[in-house]
Amino acid sequence: MRAMSNPAASFEPYRQRLLGLAYRMLGSMSDAKDAVQEAYLRWHGADRDKVTDPRAFLMTTTARICIDMLSAARKHREEYVGPWLPEPIVDTEALAPDSRTELAEDLSVALMLTLDRLSPLERSAFLLHDVFDFSFSEVAQTLNRSEVACRQLAARARAHVREVRPASPPEPAAHPGTIDPAHAQLMAAFAFATQSGDLNALKKLLASDVRIVTDGGGKVRSALKVVEGAENAAQLMAEVTRKHPGQWWQEHFTVRFAMINGLPGIIVDGSDGPVQTSAFEIANGVIRALYVVRNPDKLRHLATSSN
């Protein structure tokens, strides 16, 4: 009871797992931190001596907060300029759930984009059951729905996830959390070909059905539509470098490799912190998808980790 009487001490062991749930729910690290802080405030004001399962209480509280936040953010998302991508994260292990389910460590951009297309209730039911290992009885209590309804919500979400998950997943690194040397070499070649505007070199590095998604949020220059196909993608990369070199690269910028949402990636740092992240889906030695985040609002949370 003594530990429960101290709200901060009793909350802290659950903070990272709550952050993992909130990030998966919201696709935004900054919003996730706000949701977890709100969960802490509710924990602080609760009669904690009557809480028999703090983990379930806090997960339920956080999920409900996120559902409210998703509903409120719907209009803002409809007005978003260009493609939307989740805020990039570099430390996926810190956000992993306690469970070891199939999707426990999957924070890939492809999965996050799929989750974003689900309804808030579908997203919650799927994440709580399939990722965080809640029973459907617990999911039902969280969502104030019947178990049957929650099973249906999770099943619909699961079907959507299976539809978009690649039959052959991106090549993993030999050691989790590290950049595979072959991937680093491919990304370096891509960066060099992009900066030099070498169209033929770029096409050789791209899968024929490659997709490039660029998120500038209307705040910096970026492609306003998803670019598909090696020819179109190479043309885009070569043209933006040639026509708008100062928009994409400046002399004081530096480049570093990092794992981004579990994918090999490149972070471009300016004098005030990251200005761009690029996460690469690589298969069979070529780039299958590229997710570029340039919206400065989505990069601020990376500044601390880059210092």
* Same fold? 2-164, 181-306: no
CA 23, chain centre distance (Å):
7
Give me the residue spans of the domains in the chain.
2-164, 181-306
CB-based contact 132:97 (threshold 8 Å): yes
Q: State the virtual CA torsion across 67, 71, 72, 75 in degrees, nearest 10.
A: 150
pLDDT for 246 equals 53
pLDDT computed for residue 250 by the predictor: 66
250/57 Cα distance (integer angstroms)? 49
**CA atoms within 13 A of residue 108's CA, in its CB half-sphere:** 20
Residue range 2-164 forms a domain whose CATH class is: mainly alpha
| pLDDT tens by residue, the chain, 307 residues | 445 678 889 999 999 999 999 999 999 999 999 999 999 999 998 888 889 999 999 999 999 999 999 987 777 777 889 999 999 999 888 888 877 777 878 899 999 999 999 999 999 999 999 999 999 999 999 999 999 999 999 999 999 998 876 655 555 555 556 789 999 999 999 988 988 888 999 999 999 999 999 999 999 888 889 999 999 999 988 877 766 555 555 677 888 999 999 999 999 998 888 999 999 999 999 999 999 999 999 998 887 554 4
Looking at residue 170, its pLDDT comes to 57
H or E stretch covering 279 = strand 273-283
* Helices and strands, counts by H and E, the chain: 14, 6
The architecture that CATH gives domain 181-306 is Roll (3.10)
CB 168: neighbour CB atoms within 10 A? 8
Measure CA of the first residue to CA of the last residue in the chain; give whole Å: 40
